[in-house]
Structure 1
Amino acid sequence: MIARLTFASLALLSLGAAGQAASAQTPKDSLWNSYHLTQLPSEIQRAVAAQCPAGPIAGHYFATYTPSTIVLHFEYLGCRNGPVAVCRDGQCLRQVYRDVGGHYRLERSFFAAAYQ
C-alpha cells in the first residue's frame, strides 16, 4: 500500500514538473503585438505611431533600455497594414531617445546592420 502511494505521488510530481517545463518554453505573449509599444513613454509612442497610421505592432526587441536612454530597433516594427519602410540594404533605422528632465527627446537617428 505504501509503495503504491509513493509511486503514485512520484508519478504526479513528475507530470507536474513536465507541465511546468513545457509552459516555461512557450512565449507569454505573441512576438508581434502592440503591447511592446504601450510600455514606452507617451512621447515615443506618438513618434512611432506617426510611422504607422494604421497602427504599429512591435517585436520583443523593438526597444532596448539603459538607465537614461531608450533605443528603438526598427527592424522589429511593423504596421497592421504591412511592413514599415525603414530598412534598406541590410541596414535599419535606429533612434536613440534620452531622458531629459523626465521627458524623452530624440538624440540621434542612424542606420545600422539589422539583427536577424
Structure 2
Amino acid sequence: MISRSILASIASLAFCGAGLAASAQAPKDPLWNSYHLAQLPTEIQRVVASRCPAGPIAGHYFATYAPSTIVLHFEYLGCRNGVAAVCRDGQCLRQVYRDVGGHYRLERSFFAAAYQ
C-alpha cells in the first residue's frame, strides 16, 4: 500500500515537471503582436492603425514610456500584410506624444538611428 502511494507521487511529480518544461519553452509575450498596441491610449492607437489598414502589430520596444510621455519607435512597427517601418538611410521615424489634459498629443516627429 505504501509503495502504491510512493509510485503515485513519483508519477505525479514527473507529469508536473514535464508540464513546467513545456511551458518554459512557450513564449509568454511573442515579439510581434497587437497586445503591445492595445496598451496605448486610444488616440495613439488610431494614428498607428492608419499606417496599417490590414492591422498593425508591434515589437516589444515600439512604445517606450516616461512620465506623461510616450515615444513610438517605428522600426518596431509591422503590418499584418508586410513591414511598416518608416526608415531611410539607417534612421527610423520617432514620434513623441505628451499627455495634455488627459489626452496624448503629438509633440514632435524626427528620424533617429535605428536600433539593431
User: Which category of TM-score, normalised to the shorter sequence, fits these structures?
Assistant: 0.7 to 0.9
Q: Deviations over 1:52-97 (max 9, x none)?
A: 1111110111101112100101000011111115011111000000
Equivalent in the alignment of 2:93: 93
Shift of 1:14: 9.6
Where structure 2 has 5 or more consecutive residues not aligned to the other structure, the ranges are 1-8
Q: Deviations over 1:88-114 (max 9, x none)?
A: 111100000001111000001011111
Against the structure 1 CA distance between its residues 38 and 91, is the aligned structure 2 distance closer, same or farther, given a 3 Å change threshold? Answer: same
RMSD: 2.3
Relative distance call for 1:29 and 1:50 in structure 2 (3 A) is: same
Contact 2:76 2:85 (C-alpha < 8 Å) held by counterparts: no
Cα-to-partner distance string for 1:31-67 (whole Å, 9 max, x where unaligned): 1111111110000000001111111110111101112
**Counterpart in the other structure of 2:29:** 29
- Say if 1:21 and 1:96 are closer, same or farther in 2 by CA, change over 3 A: farther
TM (norm. structure 1) is: 0.79
- Give the 3-state SS of the residue equivalent to 2:99 in structure 1: strand
Aligned residue identity for 2:76: Y
CA 1:56–1:16 in 2, change beyond 3 Å: closer, same or farther? Answer: same
Give 5+ residue unaligned stretches, structure 1: 1-8
Describe the SS at the equivalent of 1:29.
Answer: coil
Percentage identity across paired residues of the two chains: 84
Q: What SS does the aligned partner of 2:27 have?
A: coil
**Is 1:57 the equivalent of 2:65?**
no
In the other structure, the counterpart of 2:71 is 71
Aligned-partner Cα distance in 1 for 2:41–2:14: 44
Count, aligned residues:
116
Q: In 1, Cα distance between the equivalents of 2:25 and 2:85? A: 32
TM normalised by structure 2 equals 0.79
Instruction: Note the C-alpha offset of 1:15.
Output: 8.8
Residues of 2 paired with 1:40 and 1:115: CA distance?
21
Letter in 2 for 1:97: Y
